[in-house]
Amino acid sequence: MTTHWSEYWKLGHVTSFGTDYKENYTGQLKDLWSDIFSQFSTGFKVLDVATGNGALPLLIQDYFSKLSIDGEVKGVDYADINMAPLTSSHHNKNVVIELLGNTPAESLPFPDCEFDTVISQFGIEYSDLIISMPEVLRVLKDGGIFHAVIHHQKSVVICYNSKLLSFLQHPEIERVVFLLKMMAHDMGEMTDRQDLIRIKSCAKCEKSRIEINDLLSKLAVYDEESLSESGVLKYINDFFINGLFWSVEKKLEYLVFVSEQISVYRQRLTELVAASMSVERIDSLREVLRQNAVITFSVEEVVNNTGDILGWYFSFSKHSF
């Protein structure tokens, strides 16, 4: 799991939704976390599990930017972390942030009873909850609270990405990339307009071009919105516009990159959809907590202003007996 998520965070995204939340979480999600942050008192110690590039720690810094409250937030993620969003922030430095990559939720490198609060946003559900939940309880202080927003099987996020995943599994996409590789060879080295005239009379190139257009028309019939959102059209445009006069070697290297990016995207979406929680999985989570002596467990749906489901919110407190 780590490799493709490491590549994703390397691009500088703050959240796991790419351009959907370019800066950080907003709306109902931000309001929900603001209500939680309002419960923190000075000297707080918070752990963010599956932090990504630190979206929640940055929200905490922003929330306390005009308040005289000090605190510490540590974030861990199984993937590598890109520190750029953190180092470029100009938020309240009274809230100290430390992020640790290559750190699974199933094995938290902290002493027992270290944190007042443990939080997670669209992250901990990717872990093995049978192992990670006892770890959360271990590092929580007595009376400490766990808050999480996790993926809901029927949320707009999962429905949208399930549709996109289904689109990316169409074999026509791989065929388009294969035909582009054939065209790179058939076009040969190109340096000027004379080469443009030459390839227009290339029967092999024309045959590949026609098939590519037919495949794209077929993909548009399947799902025109996903065709646009998937990045497939952008890759093709880059090949024919920006890369037209690249060397054959560079064209082929670019197409290897394209294949890798599509594969990585497919992997991330597969994991995202698989991590989403149905009502039955929520019941299983409740049972895991009961087995670890958690009696009080709160769960509710998070919805936006139009009634669309955004995720599950659940929380519990740690009590020693």
Give the pLDDT score at 10: 43
Give the pLDDT score at 89: 53
Helix axes 2-10, 248-275, angle to 10 degrees: 110
Average of per-residue pLDDT across 103-110: 96
The answer to which of 12-21, 188-197, 205-214 has the lowest mean pLDDT is 12-21
Average of per-residue pLDDT across 84-98: 68
**Burial class for 306, CB neighbours closer than 10 Å (0-12, 13-18, 19+):** exposed
Distance (Å, rounded) from C-alpha 226 to C-alpha 51? Answer: 28
Distance (Å, rounded) from C-alpha 273 to C-alpha 153? Answer: 8
Are 117 and 168 part of one and the same domain?
no
**Token pair 């990159």 in the structure block, residue:** 257
Are 88 and 232 part of one and the same domain?
no
Share of the chain above pLDDT 70, in %: 88
- In the structure, how many helices (H) and strands (E) does the chain have? 12, 7
Helix (H) or strand (E) holding 317: strand 309-317
Are 64 and 83 part of one and the same domain?
yes
Assess whether pLDDT exceeds 70 at residue 178: yes
Helix (H) or strand (E) holding 87: helix 84-87
- Give, as one character, the DSSP assignment of residue 14: S
**Domain membership of residue 238 as a residue range:** 159-272
Are 135 and 256 part of one and the same domain?
no
Of 308, 317, 307, 304, nearest to 25 (Cα)?
A: 304
pLDDT for 39-71, tens place per residue? 999 999 999 999 987 899 999 998 998 888 999
Domains contained in the chain, number? 2
pTM of the model: 0.83
Give the pLDDT score at 15: 43
Residue type, 94: N
Concatenating the DSSP letter of every residue in 102-135 gives S--TTS--S-TT-EEEEEEES-GGGS-HHHHHHH
Are 259 and 294 part of one and the same domain?
no
Give the pLDDT score at 25: 64
Are 290 and 253 part of one and the same domain?
no
